[in-house]
Chain A
C-alpha cells in the first residue's frame, strides 16, 4: 500500500511539522500569559536584590573586587531557567487534566516529536525569561565581562533548559495527578537548586557536600553561566558544556520515550 511506505523525506517533513506545531502552541500560550511572565521574573529578582545586598553587608566574599550581587547573578539566572523549564515539562500534567493531551495523542503524528516540540517551546519560554533577568540585572548594576559573554550565556541557558524540561516531560508522563506535581517541586527543584553552587563557592565545602554538588547537573549550568558572564568558574568550561550536553541529550531521549508510553 502506497500510504504505508512513506519515504524518508516525507517522514522528516512530518517530524519537523509536528515539532513546529507544538512549539507554536507554547508560544501562543506564552503570549497570552503576561502576568505569568511578570510573576516569574519577580521571584528571581527578589532573590538577586535581597540576597545580594544581605550577603554584601553581612560577610565579605573572598578574592577579587567582585561584589556579591555579581557572584549571585548567574546563579539566579540558572534558578529561573530551572523553574521555568521544569514547569514547562511538567505542564503535560495540566494538558492531561484539561483534556488537550487527548487531542495531541490522537493526531497521526509521531509522539516523540510531539514531546520534542513541547520541549523546544518550553525552553524558548525559559530562555526569554532568563535573558530578561540577565538584562534587568545588568540595568540594576550587575557587571558582566562582555557582550559576547552575554550572548554565549543564552546558549548555555538553552542547554540547561533542555536538560530539565526533558526531565519534567519524563516525570509528567508517569504522574497522573497534580499532587504529583507538588512532590516534584519539593523533592527535585529545591535539592537541585540548593546543591548547585548558585549561592556559594564549591571550594569551601566539606567533601561529602562537595560530592553531592558535583552530582547535581545544575552545578555545571551555573558554572558555565558564571564563566560566560563573569569570566570565572570552579569547573573547567569544556567539562561544564560536555556534562550539560550529555544531560540534555539523555533527558530529552528519556522524556520522548516516556511520553510515547504516556497514558491518556
Chain B
C-alpha cells in the first residue's frame, strides 16, 4: 500500500470552548511506529479516539487504511485494533472469555479463534492466568491482556493509548519489547500516545510533539534532538528569582544559544557546551549569584519538549495554570 496508513486533514475537535485537537495534519506510513508525545490534556486521547471512530471530528477529516473515519467508519473499525487509556475488560469474566468474546465480535471462526487465543496468551505470557477472573489480575496483567486482545484479530493499524501508564519498569520493558516485535515481525502500523520520554525515544520511528491540540514538532527522535544544535548546560541556583535574573543577564550579554528557565535552573542549548561553561559561570559570579551545580549533556527529548513548549513535560502544576490561561484566552475570542 503506497498511501499512508493514517492521514489527517485539518482534523479538529472542540469541547465547548476548548479546542482539544486543533487543525492537525499528519501522515503515518505503512509499517511505522508513530508516537504522540504530550502532557496531560494535550489532546492525544481525543486525536486517537477520532482516528478510531469513537469521537466525531468537529472539523476536518482523516483516513485510516484508506477509509474515511466518518463516511466509512465500519470499514475503519474492521481494520484497526485499539487499546484504550482506561481498562475496557469485563472483569467478571476470565482472560480467556474476554478474548473469546472479542474473537467472536471480529468474526473469527472457532478453530482460528482458539489458535489466536493460544497465540496471544503465550505472547503476553498470561497462559497460566487464562482461566482466572480478570478482577484478580494486577494492573500490568490487565494491560497485557488488553494489548493481546487488541491485536488478536490481526489489525492493520493498532492504536495504543498510554500502553504502559502506571506500570513498573520491568513490565514496561516487557511491553516495549512486545510492541517492537509486533511492529517488526507482523508489520503492524502502530500509533501510540505517551507522556514518557523514554518510551517515545526508544520505541518510536517518528514522534509528534503535541501541546494544546497542536503539533509543535514532528520528526525522528534523533533529528529532533540534533535540531536543537549542540549540548545542553543546566545551571542550578538557589531560587527561582535568581534563575530569572541570571537568564536575563545571560541574554543581555548577547551570549549565543537559546536559554530557558525551569524552576530554579536555567537550560542553555548551545554548540560546544563545555567551552561555554566558564563564560556562563563568569556572568553568574560577576552578578554575585551563587551557582549550586552545573550539568552538561547531549539533548534529550525532555530538552526538545522544553524548547518547543517552553516547559517540561512533567511540570503538571505549571501546565495546568498555562492551560487555564490558554482556555481563558480561547474564550475571549
Contacts and interface: CB of A to CB of B under 8 A. Distances in A.
Contacts of A105: 54
Q: Give the interface centre of A20, A101, A103 by most chain B CB atoms within 10 Å.
A: A103
Given A3-B75, A14-B107, A21 B101 contact: yes
A153 to B, nearest CB: 30
Contact of A33 (B72, B75, B92): B92
B98 to A, nearest CB: 8
A3 B97 CA distance: 29
Contact of A102 (B54, B72, B74, B78): B54
A17 interface: yes
A28 B93 contact: yes
Contact of A29 (B80, B82, B90): B90
Given A29-B90, A99-B86, A24 B53 contact: no
A108 B92 CA distance: 23
Q: Give the interface centre of A14, A107, A108 by most chain B CB atoms within 10 Å.
A: A108
Contact of B90 (A25, A33, A106, A108): A25
Interface string B9-39: 0000000000000000000000000000000
A212 interface: no
Interface residues of B, number: 29
A104 interface: yes
Contact of B102 (A14, A29, A99, A103): A103
Given A21-B104, A25-B101, A29-B93, A103 B88 contact: yes
A98 interface: yes
B105 interface: yes
Contacts, number: 67
Contacts of B87: 98-99
B107 A29 contact: no
Contact of B75 (A4, A14, A32, A99): A4
A17 B97 CA distance: 16
A29 B92 contact: yes
A109 interface: yes
A99 B91 CA distance: 10
A108 B78 contact: yes
B105 A107 contact: yes
Contacts of B101: 21, 24-25
Nearest to A105: B54
A185 to B, nearest CB: 21
B84 A99 contact: yes
Interface residues of A, number: 26
A21 B105 contact: yes
Interface string A19-60: 011001100110011000000000000000000000000000
B52 interface: yes
Contacts of A211: none
A24 B93 CA distance: 11
Nearest to B84: A102
A99 B89 CA distance: 7
Interface string B90-122: 111100010001101111000000000000000
Given A28-B97, A106-B52, A108-B77, A100 B105 contact: no
Nearest to B93: A28
Contacts of B77: 106-108
Interface in A89-103: 98-103
Nearest to A3: B75
Contact of B54 (A33, A100, A264): A264
Interface string B66-88: 00000010110110101010111
A101 B39 CA distance: 27
Interface in B98-149: 101-102, 104-107, 133, 149
A64 B82 CA distance: 64
A109 B105 contact: yes
A24 B88 contact: no
A3 B105 CA distance: 17
A102 B90 CA distance: 11
Nearest to A25: B101
The 4 A-B pairs with the shortest beta carbon distances in the complex, nearest first, are A99-B88, A107-B105, A108-B77, A21-B104
Interface of B: 52-55, 72, 74-75, 77-78, 80, 82, 84, 86-93, 97, 101-102, 104-107, 133, 149
22 contacts: A3-B75, A17-B107, A18-B105, A20-B104, A21-B101, A24-B101, A25-B93, A25-B101, A29-B90, A29-B93, A32-B92, A32-B133, A98-B91, A99-B86, A99-B89, A100-B88, A102-B88, A106-B52, A107-B77, A108-B77, A109-B105, A264-B55
